[in-house]
Chain A
């Protein structure tokens, strides 16, 4: 259980001890919270005393009487507000007037409890304020974490952009120094590596553009009936040169008339990534099997390859941004580490799911299921 600190500011000792008694064994819990909240009270007889306490220690909830001997409750409220502390104020007052209520609310009071109040009234007021405080703190935490993730993303991104630059830079310097002599042929493998790294960088930039468009929500979704066969043929067609080069046979089994309510660009990104991965991470002379079926209200896309496969440890992180499986089998394959994270986002945008079965050295099967929509 977590304890919230409640500061009671009232000049009547009877009220202070009364509240203390009510809150002593009181706890607040909600189904969405892991912990129940208990309460720990501190008392102040004047506004001045209260200020001292607020300045010296963290307080979560302040119960504030308006009528105080020195500085008035409403003025104290204004000062507390200026301090911008992470606590909520509830006014307790016997002379509740609309005027005061408006002024207090403007000064940042969370709510009001009129005096005299029953223990039950106090409890329900405290319950409300606790929930509000919890939600406010959660929101703030989530905003901060969002910033954190953004920052990590940028630092990984800049690393991923810099590393191909460094690689190409290094090769060019070796050539500039003619470290392997005057014959250009001796530098061919370095030139090839430079081109591979540049291609990787180009892919990364293209993928980044896709990702920014999804993230910013700026990409205007054009939902219409899309013919799956046409869409998948396009993806296969664009991978053809590489498939021929690597002697990978691409087989496709798709009904002629199967439509899905979606955005054609999004489906294309999904197919392109899955088909190109299946070709890229295949073995020389391997095969790709694309199988598309309709099961109930869903269209199921199954892309199977006979490639290098993915180990169980690597599968865990596969759909995360900038995940690239680094090993001797993947070093000459260019990839940004963003493709599958983009595919996952696109699939989710279409209210679908993606799953993977894979075995190292045997191959992988990616299965995407997307609701067909009104077709």
Chain B
């Protein structure tokens, strides 16, 4: 019985969530757990780098603006250096709040932004689930 449960836990995909807003972390954790994934939280770039020393997640979802305005870009870059095959999603409300548009459809942007997808903060649950499944190739 115990073995079976453990086996099930082990097969769960792990999502690393990085955001300096504790409330956003709690909310995303609740939502993503309900999709059936394991969640590890980190409260910023430095925190996340510590986690990454021990854990290789199956997916990382990170905020863009944390300690610095571009922490998400830096973290994405470092994560890809460590684990090139781990997909990275940058979740941001920056476009809505600053009007600065990031686009990773163009090759030139993809070269420097090490993210596989941009997620708008406030994304609906079903959309979020779909995006995560797509990144995890489920």
Contact = CB atoms under 8 A, between A and B. Distances in A.
Interface of A: 159, 162-163, 166-167, 169-171, 174, 177, 179-180, 189-190, 193, 197, 326, 328, 331
B23 A170 contact: yes
B127 interface: no
B121 interface: yes
B70 to A, nearest CB: 16
Interface of B: 20-24, 26-27, 30-31, 34, 43, 93, 97, 121-122, 125
13 contacts: A162-B97, A166-B122, A170-B24, A170-B27, A170-B122, A171-B23, A174-B27, A174-B30, A179-B30, A180-B30, A189-B26, A193-B26, A197-B23
B99 to A, nearest CB: 11
B22 A331 contact: yes
Contacts of A193: 22-23, 26
A331 B41 CA distance: 15
B56 to A, nearest CB: 25
B97 A163 contact: no
B20 to A, nearest CB: 7
Rank and list the top 5 A-B pairs by shortest CB-CB distance, nearest first: A167-B23, A170-B27, A331-B22, A179-B34, A179-B30
A159 B97 contact: yes
Given A163-B21, A179-B34, A326-B20, 5 more contacts: A159-B97, A167-B21, A174-B30, A179-B30, A193-B26
Contacts of B27: 167, 170-171, 174
B122 to A, nearest CB: 7
Nearest to B124: A173
A2 B31 CA distance: 61
B22 A166 contact: no
Contacts of B43: 328
Given A159-B97, A166-B122, A179 B31 contact: yes
Contact of B24 (A167, A190, A331): A167
Contact of B121 (A166, A174, A331): A166
A170 B34 CA distance: 15
A190 B121 contact: no
B129 to A, nearest CB: 12
Contacts of B21: 163, 167
Contacts of B23: 166-167, 170-171, 193, 197
Nearest to A167: B23
Contacts of B34: 179
Contacts of A166: 23-24, 93, 121-122
A190 B20 CA distance: 17
Nearest to B43: A328
B26 A177 contact: no
A163 B24 CA distance: 10
Contacts of A170: 23-24, 27, 122
Contacts of A177: 125
Contacts of B30: 174, 179-180
B50 to A, nearest CB: 14
A170 B43 CA distance: 18
Contacts of A328: 43
A190 B26 contact: yes
Nearest to B65: A159
A20 B101 CA distance: 53
A179 to B, nearest CB: 5
B71 to A, nearest CB: 13
Contacts of A197: 23
Contacts of A179: 30-31, 34
A326 B44 CA distance: 11
B119 to A, nearest CB: 14
A189 B22 CA distance: 13
Contacts of B97: 159, 162
B96 to A, nearest CB: 10
Contacts of B24: 166-167, 170
Nearest to A331: B22
A326 B122 CA distance: 23
